Amino acid sequence: ESIEKGGYEHFMLKEIFEQPKSILDSMRGRMIAENDHLMMAGVREFENKFQNADRIIIVACGTSWHAGLVAEYLFEDLARIPVEVEYASEFRYRNPIITEKDIVIAISQSGETADTLAALELAKSKGATIFGVCNVVGSSIARATDAGAYTHAGPEIGVASTKAFTAQVTVLTLIAMIIGKKRGTLETTKLRQLIAEMESIPSKVEKALQLNEQIIGISEVYKDATNFLYLGRGYNFPVALEGALKLKEISYIHAEGYPAAEMKHGPIALIDEQMPVVVIATKDSSYEKIVSNVQEVRARKGKVIAVVTEGDTTIPAMADHVIEIPETSEHLVPLLSVIPLQLLSYHIAVMRGCNVDQPRNLAKSVTVE
């Protein structure tokens, strides 16, 4: 086992550090920057269906559901198709309205999650077209779909999903770009920029991983906290949910992820000097808005741990801790902003003596409902 861990103390840490490669593997051969060419065999078969789809319904559980939320922003923004993101377990039991013009995308690392499989079978029986985004080749969900695109994250052993999430987001981004191009909703110049930016993501992830030492320091400060709040807006809202989930899963600290603006409708009541608040506040279209949210947290003496874009000076002037990530397009920012949050949860869990790779009560793949 120690050989399999490749010198890392835990599988989770190894998998976090594998992300430059797993992201690259998930995009390799699927795009060519020079002539804005994108290709995915599974999508090609389905291009006309995607082009004419009335809506896309995404079904998933856990971290894969968070990747689905990122995809909602991507598909609506780049391809202008309405998207609904569903917890598979709720969707399957509520008599959902599904038509033959719907495309259902099932996202699953293992391809074996019982609720996701049942949700897609239900949608299939109502005539929807089923597309899969799975990591495990030949898995039950992969086999049950009409077409799909694999993520190439490689085997993920740590129960808390890390590299599978970024691989899912990578593949879903490419799909949104392909469909956007086909539907004419994504103009060529923007598409070219996105492809070029996508190509630089693995090296930017590499850079984000260099934050490790700094994050160990921040983890020391907050390892005994009993609660954490994670805030984000836009593309970083799903990242806030994912950051909170990672912390809960492996450190057993109660954490909530929230859309930053929604904080005033509840969680703000929890903020005092004991409350660490992780704010993902990169330079994007909601930046000015999130600056005000940080002020609201400060005014209640919350401790602000801010994830910002390199070179930002406004938020650093207000935050207790500043984590700088490389600049990128806002469409791709989750691939970078999630990295420090994975590291933060990992180090806090290790410092608390938790079993990081096999947290209590959790399973890598939930094959019963």
By CB under 6 A, is residue 342 in contact with ligand G6P?
Answer: no
Q: Which is nearer to ligand G6P, 299 or 363 (CB)?
A: 363
Candidates 26, 64, 293, 328; binder of ligand G6P (CB under 6 A) is: 64
Least Å distance, CB 164 to ligand G6P, is 7
Q: Which residues contact 1 (CB under 8 A, 6 or more apart)?
A: none
**Strand runs labelled E in 96-201:** 102-108, 129-134, 147-150
Determine phi and psi for 234, rounding to 5 degrees: 55, -135
Residue 322 near ligand G6P by CB under 6 A: no
CB-based contact 267:229 (threshold 8 Å): yes
- Per CB under 6 A, does 108 bind ligand G6P? yes
User: Quick one: which of 116, 173, 282, 342 contacts ligand G6P (CB under 6 A)?
Assistant: 116
- Give the nearest distance from C-beta 64 to ligand G6P in angstroms: 4
CB burial string 105-133: b at 16+ within 10 A, e below: bbbbbbbbbbbbbbbbebbbeeebbbbbb
Interface of this chain with ligand G6P, residues 346 to 365, rule: CB under 6 A = 362, 364-365
Structure tokens at 79: 């391809």
Query: What is the three-state SS of 235-304?
Result: CHHHHHHHHHHHHHHHHCCEEEEEEHHHHHHCHHHHCCCCCEEEEECCCCCCHHHHHHHHHHHHHCCCEE
Q: Which two tokens stand for residue 190?
A: 């923007």
234: left (phi over 0), alpha (psi -120 to 50) or beta: left
Name the residue nearer to ligand G6P (CB basis): 260 or 356. 356
Binding mask 152-171 for ligand G6P (x = CB under 6 A): -------xxx----------
* 26 is an interface residue for ligand G6P by CB under 6 A: no
Told to check if 61 binds ligand G6P by CB under 6 A, we report yes
Closest approach of ligand G6P to the CB of residue 134, in Å: 8
Considering the complex, state which of residue 141 and residue 191 has its C-beta at the smaller distance from ligand G6P: 141
Report in angstroms how near the CB of residue 348 gets to ligand G6P at its nearest: 18
Q: Which residue is nearest to ligand G6P (CB)?
A: 62
Which residue has 């180090």 as its token pair? 347
**By CB under 6 A, residue 151 contacts ligand G6P:** no
Examine residue 129 and tell whether it contacts ligand G6P (CB under 6 A). no
By CB under 6 A, residue 243 contacts ligand G6P:
no
Side-chain half-sphere exposure of 176, counting CA atoms within 13 A: 30
Nearest distance from C-beta of residue 161 to ligand G6P, angstroms: 4
Strand, helix or coil for residue 221: helix
Phi, psi of 157 (to 5 degrees): -100, -45
Establish whether 364 is a catalytic residue: yes
Q: Which of 20, 62, 96, 234 binds ligand G6P (CB under 6 A)?
A: 62
Tell me how far the alpha carbon of residue 1 is from its chain's centroid. 28
Residue closer to ligand G6P by CB (options 111, 326) is: 111
Cα gap 100→128, rounded to integer Å: 5
CB of 65 to ligand G6P, least distance (A): 8
| 140 is a contact residue toward ligand G6P (CB under 6 A) | no
If binding means CB under 6 A, how many residues of this protein chain bind ligand G6P? 16
Question: What residues line the site for ligand G6P (CB under 6 A)?
Answer: 61-64, 108-110, 113, 116, 159-161, 362, 364-366
Return the active site residues: 364
